[in-house]
Structure 1
Amino acid sequence: MSGKPVTSVDVARRAGVSQSAVSRFFTPGASVSKKMAEKIKAAADELGYRPNVLARAMITGKSRIIGLVVYYLENQFYPEAVEKLSIALQENGYHVLLFMASTTVGDVEPVVQTILDYRVDGIILVSVSMSSTLADRCRERNIPVMLFNRDQPREDLLAVTSDNVAGGRLAAEMLLKGNPQRIAHLAGFDGASTQIDREAGFTAALAEAGKSVVARAVGNFHYSDAADATRELFEGDAPPDALFVTDDHMALAALDVIRHELGLRVPEDVAVVGFDDIPQAAWPSFNLSTVRQRLNVMVSTAVDELISAIEGEDRPATKLRIMPVPIPRGTTRD
C-alpha cells in the first residue's frame, strides 16, 4: 500500500466483501456472519486499518464518545471510580475521554465547553456539578449529563449517588454503640451535596439518641486541610471521644494526627468512622470503620441510565440513590 490512509474500501476489497459489511463489522451493536467477520478482521489486521471514529460521528451524528470529568484524584475513591466507569463504558462500545476540572471547586465550565467540541454523546461528572447555563446548553444539544457521587436540584440531570442521608445515619449508629460523650464532626466542602446529606443523616440520628455534635471543623476533602482540622478539634481541654469524618481520605489524615501527633488510642480514647471504604481503609495500619459506597452498583447503574438516555429511551431523568453498607473495623467500640 502507498502512504495514503487505509480506508474501509481497501479492507472490503482485500476481504472480498462489500464496504457496508466492513462498516457493520466496526459498528458496535451491528452484526455480520461469523465467516464474514473473520475475513474482515484478517484483512483489517493485514492492512493496519482502524475506523475513524470522528469521521463516523460526522456521518451518523453519534461519536460513541463519553466525556468523563473528575475534579481531583487525591482521594483514592476517584481513581477507582474512573477506572470502573471507563471499563464499563468500553464494554458497552463507548470510548472515554478523561478531563480534569479546574482546581476551583465545582468549576467545570471551561472543560465542558471543550468536551462539547468533541461531539460527545454524553457527559459524566464525577463529584462535581455544573451551572444551569451549561446544563441548558447540553440539553439543547441533546447531550445527557450524568452526575456521579454528586447531585443538584435540576430535574433534567441524571444522578447516581449513595443514599448519603442513610449513610450518615449508619455512621452515627456505629459511633453510638460505644456510648460516646463528646462527638465531633470533620466535614468536607460545605457546598457539596455529599457533605450536606451525610451530615444531615448523622446529626438526625444523634438527635434521636439524645446526642449532638459538640465540635465541628472543615477539611475540604483534602489530606492536609483535614489534618489541620483534626488539630483544631482536639486542641481544647475536653477533646472528642468520637469522630465522624465525611470521607475516608480525610479520616486517614485524622487517624495519623490522633495517633502519631496527639498520642491518643483508637478506639479506646477516641472512636473514628469514615465514609467510602477506599482500599486503604482496610489496611492493617488504619483498620478504619467506615460506611461503604457500593461502587460497582453505582457504576453499573450510572452507565445503564446514561446509555438509555443516549439511545433516546423516552423516560424522565432519574436520580438514583444506592443504599450504602456499614463496615465496622478496629476504630470503633462495640
Structure 2
Amino acid sequence: MSTVEHRAAALKALIASEHRRVTSYDVATLAGVSQSAVSRCFKPGASVSKTTYELVMKVAALLDYIPNAAARSLITRRSNMVALIITNQANLYYPELLAEVSQQINARGKRVLLFTLQRESQVDHVLADVWQYQVDGVIAAAQLSPVHIAEFERRGMPLVLFNRTMRDQIVNTVTCDHLEAGRLLASRLAAAGHRQFGIIGGGRDSSVATERQRGACERLAELGLPPPVVVPGQYDYRSGAAGLKAVIAQLGTVPDAVICGSDVMAIGCLDCARHELGLDVPGQLSVAGFDAVEPSNWASYNLTTLRQPVPRMAAAAADLLCERIDSHDPGTEKRVFSVEFIDGATARLTPAGATPPRVATGLPRPVAIM
C-alpha cells in the first residue's frame, strides 16, 4: 500500500469517527492542491492540468468523495439545473423528446429537472415550483402567456420556447414553421386532385395545432377549394376515429382527404376508415398526419406525414439556453426549422389516372417527434 493510500485510509477512519461526509477540503488536503483545483477537476470543460486531474481523481476515489452539487451551487450561485416544461399531450413522442433534450443539456454540464402538464393551459400550476428550485434556465415545450414571459424577464431567468411561438412577444424560440407545414401538406394533397377536405385539429390550447390548421385552411382557400370541414381532436387515438365520423356526418359523404393534427390521431382515423367503415385507403380516402412518430413507420400504417428534425432542434435549444445562462445576454433569437415530407402509403399523391412515380422500397424511413 502506497503512502497516499495509507494516509487516505487514516483520513477516512477519522472522518467516519466524526460522523461527517468527505469534503473537497479533505481531498485538497490529501492531494496537496487547493480546493478550487478540486472543484475544477469536477467541472466539465474547466482548465486543469492532466497531472493535477489524475491526482485529484485518485484521491477522490480513495476517499469515496462525491461532489456536493448543492454546496457548489451556493458558491457559484448556479444550480446547474435546467427546467424542462412539457405537456403530456405529446403522447407517443414524449419519451423521445425528453431524451433528446436531456442528452443535449447533460452534454453541456447541466441536468434537466422535469415538469409535466396535462394540458398547456395548466402551466400556471408548475411555474411556482420552477421558481422554488432556482434553476438556471427553462426550456418550455408549452405555450406561455405574455404575463408568464414578463415574469421570466422580471426574474432575469433565461427562457427558450421549444416548438412554440409567440407573435407579439420577443422571446428566444426554437421551432418548426408549423404554418408552412400545414400549407405544404394541403398543397401536396390538392395537387393530386383532392378537392373536399376534412381536418381533425389538435387541442384548442395547442398553438402548434392551431398554426398547422390555419396553414392548411389558408392554402386550400388560395387554391379556390371548398372550405374544409374542421372538427376538434385531442391528439389521441380515439379522437382520430371520432373525428373521421364527425367529418363524414357533417359532409354527408366521405371526403377526399383528411388531415390530422398528429400521427396518433391519423392512425385512429386510418383504423376507423379501414376496419370500421370499410373504406379503401388511399383509394377512397387519403389520410395524412404530422410528426412521423415511430408507429407511423410500421408496415401496417406506413403513414403519409411530416417529419420534424427534433435532434437538431433539441441541440439548438440547449445551445441557445446555455449561451444565455453563461453570458447573461438578454438578447433574443428565433431559430426556425423546416419539416420534411414523408411520402407514405395512406395518401394518393398523384392525380387520378396518372401513373405514380417509382418509389424505392425497403429503405428505412426517418422517425421524428414533436
What is the TM-score of this pair, normalised by structure 1? 0.93
Which one of the candidate residues 81, 84, 93 is aligned to 2:97? 81
Question: Which whole-Å CA distance do the structure 2 matches of 1:110 and 1:43 have between them?
Answer: 45
Number of matched pairs = 332
What secondary structure sits across from 2:104 in the alignment? helix
What secondary structure sits across from 2:91 in the alignment? coil
Instruction: Verify: 1:70 aligned to 2:83, yes or no.
Output: no
* Structure 1 counterpart of 2:362: none
Give the letter aligned to residue 282 of structure 1: N
Q: Tell me, yes or no, if the aligned pair for 2:176 and 2:337 is still in contact at 8 Å.
A: yes
Rg (Cα) greater in structure: 2
Matches within 5 A, 1:229-308: 229-235=243-249, 237-308=252-323
Structure 2 residues not aligned, in runs of 5+: 1-11, 351-370
Per-residue deviation, 1:154: 5.0
Per-residue deviation, 1:74: 5.4
Per-residue deviation, 1:188: 0.6
Question: Which whole-Å CA distance do the structure 1 matches of 2:231 and 2:25 have between them?
Answer: 64
Which one of the candidate residues 43, 48, 54 is aligned to 2:59? 43
Give the letter aligned to residue 60 of structure 2: A
Per-residue deviation, 1:89: 0.4
Greater mean deviation of Cα atoms: 90-99 or 44-53: 44-53
Matches within 5 A, 1:83-102: 83-101=99-117
Q: Tell me, yes or no, if the aligned pair for 1:203 and 1:212 is still in contact at 8 Å.
A: no
Q: Tell me, yes or no, if the aligned pair for 1:174 and 1:273 is still in contact at 8 Å.
A: no
Question: Which whole-Å CA distance do the structure 1 matches of 2:90 and 2:318 have between them?
Answer: 24
Which one of the candidate residues 31, 34, 37 is aligned to 1:18? 34
Cα deviation, 1:136-180, whole Å, max 9, x if unaligned, reads 332222111111111223534222110111111111123123311
* Structure 1 counterpart of 2:237: 223
* Structure 1 counterpart of 2:331: 316
Greater mean deviation of Cα atoms: 83-92 or 194-203: 194-203
Q: Tell me, yes or no, if the aligned pair for 1:266 and 1:331 is still in contact at 8 Å.
A: yes
What secondary structure sits across from 1:76 in the alignment? helix
Which one of the candidate residues 163, 166, 188 is aligned to 1:174? 188
Per-residue deviation, 1:315: 5.9
Q: Tell me, yes or no, if the aligned pair for 2:143 and 2:207 is still in contact at 8 Å.
A: no
* Structure 1 counterpart of 2:357: none
Q: CA RMSD in A?
A: 1.8
Structure 1 residues not aligned, in runs of 5+: none
Question: Which whole-Å CA distance do the structure 2 matches of 1:154 and 1:17 have between them?
Answer: 53
- 1:178 to 1:324, Cα distance in 2 relative to 1, 3 A: same
Greater mean deviation of Cα atoms: 318-327 or 103-112: 103-112
Q: Tell me, yes or no, if the aligned pair for 1:11 and 1:22 is still in contact at 8 Å.
A: yes
Q: Tell me, yes or no, if the aligned pair for 2:38 and 2:56 is still in contact at 8 Å.
A: yes
- 1:155 to 1:32, Cα distance in 2 relative to 1, 3 A: same
Give the letter aligned to residue 51 of structure 1: P
Question: Which whole-Å CA distance do the structure 1 matches of 2:224 and 2:150 have between them?
Answer: 45
Question: Which whole-Å CA distance do the structure 2 matches of 1:28 and 1:63 have between them?
Answer: 14
- 1:104 to 1:327, Cα distance in 2 relative to 1, 3 A: closer
